[in-house]
Amino acid sequence: MGDQVTDAGWWSDAVGYEVYLRSFADSDGDGIGDLPGLISRLDHLADLGVDIVWVTPFYPSPMADFGYDVADHTGVDPRFGTIDDLDRLVAAVHERDMRLLIDLVPNHTSDQHEWFRSALADPASPYRDFYIWRDGAPDGGPPNNWRSHFGGPAWTMDEASGQWWCHLFLPEQPDLNWANPGVRAAFEGIITHWLARGVDGFRIDVAHSLVKHPSFADNPVLVEVGPDASASEAFGAMRHDHDLDQPGTLDIYRDWHRLAREHDAVLLGEVYLDSAEAVGAYVADGVLDLSFFFPVLHTTWDPEVLRHVVTATLTHGRGRFAWVHSSHDDPRAPTRFGGGERGRRRALSFLAFTALLPGPLFLYQGDELGLVDGEVDPASASDPVAVRNTNPDGGRDPVRTPMPWSPDAPNLGFSTGTPWLPMPANHTAADTVEAQRADPGSTLHAVRRLLRTRRERRPGTDPVELLAEGPAEVLGYRRGDVLVVLNAGDRSVAVPLPGPVELAFSNGTVDVGSGRAVLEPDAVAVMDVTT
């Protein structure tokens, strides 16, 4: 189903793993995860079956948005280590036959970046036009009605000049002006710098937002919201005709694509659009190599919702949409799917269902443990989405709590000091890597078996044939000699088989025999068709 990629690279069927650096592993007891800590835990990722390690920003930053407000795109923040540590990470990843992706943040910088500090200090500075400045509205308010993802207007006034700067995120994250050739040249230099140091590609933050419409017109309002609306509700209350997904954005990536090809590197976009067709344009030939498709991250446990998102991905992704189930910005899959043991079972089953579909598969740290969202006391909240808005809904702290490693160590092995975000009470000794490694029935062992099953089969370019018949609760497909079936309903179901099969992987009770597979609710079966 859907055309498949013809120029697939090493990334086309890889398994990726997102490391949220400040919460992964702390080596020096300051409560913040760092590069040496990550290096010390790479064997866990290699043993799991990971091919790509994606690490979130390690650049110098005031940490208004925990590293996504970059003050120097070619350095390393001392809280995370040194440039030598980064070089050691590159070498250690490669020694384990894995590849390293790093975050590139091109939509905005920190307000402490030397470019913005110069632009703010002197309107005649050559860096003034590196950013987006507009005069205010006739009533003295912002230039237009654009909203910030993080709450409030997307504009802040510079009292000295009387102009406003644009920021689709925090005021401390001024948006760059991609109409300026100097910005384009600067980022090509940044990309070349890191490729020369041996990184294997980039995850591009907010990849759909770089270019703004030159009219800077108001966005159409879809529904009026009150002052108590959450940041996401307010942002979603308008149609983003002028600030997102603008013409010219793909041209930037065509230039980057040529640079990446010189180093056999990959470009992976965070294209946060709901339309599979729109995201598909970003992974056309010669643009980005891959993109996440975020509706997968927002699915509920409903067979029609799951079927729709899978079909949309297959139709428009061409094998270039990377399957992802949790992230540092979105609720974890077990929580989305109901929480508790049932949420964990459903999350593992859907992970297994997508594992044999075209495209890379990405885990977020803790997915291999079946972690649910951490319980964070509001008094300990750190995420600006939560602490800067009257309505804290959408705060991301629960998915950013520290990684649990050891049942017997302080802070479950994350740090010997006080973690930057408290260890959640609902993450226990049984959730740790060491405890699950010792338990053959754990989620960790199941995920390891699943990734081995995936690696042994690698259907390559075999087309996907969706099952057209069967109970409404069932999702299924065949690729070559592999048959995958998921029961997303609340009753056991029987699915007819095309012939003799051998069960390669299952989660939940599955009975294969007499020409049919019987699956209990929430169960998945990966089968080899033997004739």
Active site residues: 205, 262
Strands (E), 205-336: 266-269, 290-292, 321-324
Cα separation, 404 vs 218, in Å, equals 46
Rounded to 10 degrees, the C-alpha dihedral 89/91/93/95 comes to: -150
DSSP states of 1-53: --PPPSS--TTTT-EEEEE-GGGT--SSSSSS--HHHHHHTHHHHHHHT-SEE
At 268 the three-state DSSP class reads: strand
Q: Measuring CA to CA, how many Å separate 74 from each of 58, 311, 329?
A: 10, 40, 24
Cα separation, 326 vs 396, in Å, equals 12
End-to-end CA separation in angstroms for the chain: 22
Q: Measuring CA to CA, how many Å separate 438 from each of 408, 442, 527?
A: 14, 8, 27
User: Sign of torsion, CA 445 451 457 463?
Assistant: positive
Cα separation, 519 vs 503, in Å, equals 12
Q: Please say whether the beta carbons of 386 and 349 come within 8 A.
A: no
Task: Tell me 23's DSSP state.
Answer: G
Cβ atoms within 10 Å, residue 48: 17
Q: Tell me the one-letter amino acid at 176.
A: L
Tokens standing for residue 64 = 């208004």
Q: Tell me the one-letter amino acid at 78.
A: P
Token look-up 């649990």 returns 404
* Helix (H) or strand (E) run with residue 155 in it: strand 155-157
Token look-up 């920003």 returns 57
Q: Please say whether the beta carbons of 410 and 421 come within 8 A.
A: no
Q: Beta strand 290-292 with 266-269: parallel, antiparallel or unpaired?
A: parallel
Cα separation, 8 vs 502, in Å, equals 30
Nearest alpha carbon to residue 334 among 345, 320, 322? 345
Tokens standing for residue 269 = 């976009």
What are the beta bridge partners of residue 506? 525
* Helix (H) or strand (E) run with residue 83 in it: helix 83-95
Q: What angle do CA 470, 473, 477 make, to 5 degrees?
A: 60
**What order of strands is seen across the sheet that includes strand 501-507?**
465-466, 474-479, 482-487, 524-529, 501-507
Cα separation, 88 vs 484, in Å, equals 40
